[in-house]
Structure 1
Amino acid sequence: MAKADTKTTIDSDGLRYRSKAPGSPFTAAGAFGAATMSCFLCGKHRPRSQLKSRRLLGKAQFVCSPSCKEADEASAAAKR
């Protein structure tokens, strides 16, 4: 399946930008600006409510709660 052609524009300073919808899929609607974070272990973005703080490598890191495998199964079941 071929991708649709993306329109590009060249800015006055010569930089080339692809036209796309503005913003990021990871921006927050709330006041804190961090609705999602990535898990330190699996790297997937999850809502902060699905992460817990765990001490790894001498620092507090956020990881999936209760585990990455269970979080993947729960998200797969929710998509069905």
Structure 2
Amino acid sequence: MTKRKDQIKTAVDADGLRYRSKAPGSPFGVGTTYSSGTMSCFLCGKHRPRAMLKTRKLLGKSQPVCAPSCAELEQQLSKAA
């Protein structure tokens, strides 16, 4: 026999909400200005503040990437923490 995980069943309420246990909002926070938001690095995929990114032409298009590089930025952030 196979074991089944306990399945949580959800239903749409009259007000349109489905999830009761999920916290509302975005895990990335809400920025009021364009520069306060985050973007994901095209190379490593991690979300960074826009100030920690630069644009680089990859695959014929400008993409946001970590500045100076993904590895160097990770080292700088780990030292600061």
TM-score (norm 1): 0.73
Which has a greater percent of strand? 1
Aligned match of 2:40: 38
User: C-alpha separation between the residues in 2 aligned to 1:23 and 1:74?
Assistant: 29
On the 8 A contact 2:35/2:51 being kept in 1, the answer is no
Paired residue secondary structure (1:17): coil
User: C-alpha separation between the residues in 1 aligned to 2:35 and 2:26?
Assistant: 12
User: C-alpha separation between the residues in 2 aligned to 1:78 and 1:58?
Assistant: 35
Matched, 1:57 2:59: yes
The count of aligned residue pairs is: 72
Percent of aligned pairs with the same amino acid? 57
Show CA shifts across 1:21-59 (max 9, x none): 211122332223861100000111100000000000000
Aligned match of 2:76: 74
Paired residue secondary structure (1:23): coil
Aligned match of 2:13: 12
On the 8 A contact 1:36/1:45 being kept in 2, the answer is yes
Runs of 4+ displaced beyond 4 Å? none
Q: What RMSD, in angstroms, separates the aligned Cα atoms of the two structures?
A: 2.6
User: C-alpha separation between the residues in 2 aligned to 1:40 and 1:77?
Assistant: 23
